Structure 1
Amino acid sequence: MSLPHAILTALLEKPSSGLELTRRFDKSIGYFWSATHQQIYRELGRLESEGYIRALPSEQPARGQKKSYEVLPAGRDELARWTSASQDPRPMRDTMLLRLRASAVVGTAGIETDLRRHLDLHQRQLSEYEQIQKRDFPPGKDAPQDRLRHLVLRAGIDLETFWTQWLTHALDEFEHLDEQSPAPEAVLETAPEAVPDAVPEDVRE
Structure 2
Amino acid sequence: MSTPHAILIALLEKPSSGYDLARRFDRAIGYFWHATHQQIYRELGRMVEAGWVAVAEEEAAAAPRKKVYCVLPVGREEVRRWARETPLGRDDRNAFLLKLRADAVVGPLGLGDELLRLIEENRARLVLYREIEMRDFGAASLTRGQQLQYAILKAGIRAHETWLEWAEDVAPLLNL
TM-score by length of 1: 0.43
Structure with the higher helix share, 1 or 2: 2
Structure possessing the higher radius of gyration over alpha carbons: 1
TM-score by length of 2: 0.50
